[in-house]
Structure 1
Amino acid sequence: MPRFALLIEYDGLPFHGWQRQAGGQPSVQAAIEAALGRLEPGPHTIAAAGRTDAGVHATGQVAHCDMARDWDPFRLSEALNFHLKPAPVAILRAVRVADDFHARFSATERRYLFRLQARRAPVTHDRGRVWQILNPLDVAAMREGAAHLIGSHDFTTFRSTLCQAKSPVKTLDEISIATAPVPGGTEYRFSLRARSFLHNQVRSIIGTLERVGAGGWDPADVKAALEARDRAACGPVCPPQGLYLTGVGYPVDPFAA
């Protein structure tokens, strides 16, 4: 059966996350599998690089599917986009890949972006797509705090109690923080990169760094929280709507050609 990799973009607001739900609640996976069923009758199961939570968005999710027909990749993406309407899900590209390609297990890194806006006026156009706070943050302090998290650590403090990963040890390759002006305030853009992340790790880190930027925590408190290896030492977990899965790395990029 020919295998295809799909590069996927979606708005996470209407969905209960990526993963198909036992209770039938809407999910991104179920929407794409239903569209595949319109092209080739029968059950379809796709695997993704990351199982994003409810309300989390993606601009560069990757999944793979097996088809009975050897579709032209462009026609496959066009047909899927037609059948996905009106769901806010888009197949940006489809490419033929080797049978041993796996969207999750072949991946060598995941990249996330978190958007946080500080302004007094309510967010309008970006509602549901950023985390809004009212007061500006100290970027230098947040960068100092974030530096303690770079590298390989036991991230138990920043891990959901529901996390099913076998080990809390992860290697965080990057946390960078950029700013951009928005009407009436500032947007803070946190970019994180690692081979893989624990459940709620990114949102736990961002919530903690926001406390540093707001002055509630000292940058050194981030190091102390990490070394505590205790979930109770974590700062607040930030809401999901500012989080985006922006890219997935592979030994050979299937979408490079």
Structure 2
Amino acid sequence: MRNLRFTISYDGTAYSGFQIQPQSDTIQYRLEKAVWMLTGETVKVISSGRTDAGVHAKAQVINFTTNSQIPVERWCLALNARLPKDIVAHTAEEVLPSFHARKAAKRKTYCYTIRTARFPDVFHRSYEYHHPTPLNVEAMREALPCLIGEHDFTSFCTVRTDKEVKVRTLYEARLETESDGFLDSGSIDRLRFFVSGNGFLYNMVRIMVGTLIQIGEGKRPSSDMQRILEAKDRALAGPTAEAKGLTMWKVDY
């Protein structure tokens, strides 16, 4: 029995999230179906983390065990030939039997992309949230330091969660700006919110983004982020930002 680890990317637009669900098309279902088509085996694909419906991944990590003797260097090409075009395996390696993509993960990074130009970008419309009016980027940045470290993130977690412990550690939270250079090279056309931590609660990043957008709009002061965090009350935070702007960016082991 071999334990294989893969790095995959996917466009989550057409899927009901990563995890298998009854009568729903999911990333896990497509991966397990591709392995069955290739080897005839029924495997259980383990991921570093579950992404919600409409959320994407640049470098998701998965693993599964197999009796197949297909050389590891041939696995990506073989899987990609059996996967839909919006799911791609990039790397494959054989790992120790004890490796578990979720339990072994030390750090996960997500990126949320906000387009702030007046008009949407036709080529990236499925991967970013369009906010057509300017945001106060400095105010948004001022709200971030309080999130770093170990905290109870109840305020930034959907009430529809089965997680009893809502304490997580964030290592980094930053905003980057980009210009298209299309019409006005001096404009800010896109914001990217990068956040890294040892784990994330259900909708945690999207609720943080919804709150940051309200701060950027001037509807809240930057200091509200600290107040919301300490209150441990989901009702005080902003709305849950749209799924399509969120991408699982990187997983470190």
Same fold (TM over 0.5): yes
Q: Does 1:173 align with 2:176?
A: no
Q: Give the secondary structure class of the aligned counterpart of 2:200.
A: coil
Identity between Structure 1 and Structure 2 (%): 34
Aligned counterpart, 1:19: 19
Q: Report if aligned partners of 2:12, 2:55 keep a CA contact under 8 Å in 1.
A: yes
Matches of 2:232 and 2:136, distance apart in 1? 26
Alignment pair present for 1:161 and 2:159: yes
Following superposition, the deviation at residue 72 of structure 1 comes to: 1.4
Matched letter for residue 77 of structure 2? E
1:192-211 residue pairs with structure 2 within 5 A? 192-211=195-214
Q: 2:126 corresponds to which residue?
A: 128
**Superposition deviation, residue 166 in structure 1:** 2.8
2: distance between equivalents of 1:180 and 1:123? 13
In structure 2, distance between residues paired with 1:165 and 1:7: 27
TM-score w.r.t. length of structure 2: 0.95
Indicate if the aligned counterparts of 1:156 and 1:229 stay in contact, CA closer than 8 A. yes
- Residue of structure 2 equivalent to 1:227: 230
Contact 2:12–2:57 at 8 Å: present in 1 too?
yes
Output one character per residue of 1:206-248: Cα deviation in whole Å (capped at 9) or x when no partner.
1101111111110011111111111101111100101110111
Q: CA deviation at 1:70?
A: 3.1
CA distance in 2 between counterparts of 1:233 and 1:62 reads 34
What is the TM-score with the length of structure 1 in the denominator?
A: 0.94
Q: Over residues 117-143 of structure 1, what are the superposed CA-to-partner deviations in whole Å (9 max), with x where a residue is unaligned?
A: 012223311111100001111111111
How many residue pairs end up in the alignment? 248
- Aligned partner of 2:29 in structure 1 is 30
1:215 alignment partner AA: G
Runs of 4+ with >6 A deviation: none
Q: 1:1-257 to 2 correspondence within 5 Å?
A: 1-23=1-23, 25-84=24-83, 86-182=84-180, 183=182, 186-250=189-253
Q: Distance in 2 between matches of 1:214 and 1:73?
A: 50
Name the amino acid aligned to 2:154: T
* Distance of 1:192 and 1:78 partners within structure 2: 32
CA–CA distance in 2 between the matches of 1:22 and 1:202? Answer: 26
- Once the two structures are TM-superposed, the CA of residue 71 in structure 1 deviates from its matched residue by 2.6
Given that 2:20 and 2:29 are in contact with CA atoms closer than 8 Å, whether structure 1 keeps it comes out as: yes
Distance 1:122 1:40 in 2: 43
Q: State the SS of the aligned residue for 1:148.
A: helix
Q: For residues 52-85 of structure 1, what are the alpha-carbon distances to aligned partners after superposition, in whole Å with 9 as ceiling and x for unaligned?
A: 000100011000011112331121111000111x
Asked if 2 retains the 8 angstrom alpha-carbon contact of 1:136 and 1:186, the reply is no
Instruction: Tell me if structure 2 keeps the 8 A contact 1:38–1:83.
Output: yes
CA deviation after TM superposition for structure 1 residue 22, in Å = 1.4
Q: Deviations over 1:62-114 (max 9, x none)?
A: 00011112331121111000111x34000001100000000000111111111
**Structure 1 residues not aligned, in runs of 5+:** 251-257
For residues 169 and 249 of structure 2, what CA distance do their matches in structure 1 show? 18
- Unmatched tracts of structure 2, length 5 or more: none
SS state of the match for residue 81, structure 2? helix
C-alpha distance after superposition, 1:128-187 (max 9, x if no partner): 110000111111111111111111111110011122223111111110101001246510
- Aligned letter for 1:210? I
The whole-number CA distance in structure 2 between the counterparts of 1:116 and 1:27 is 25
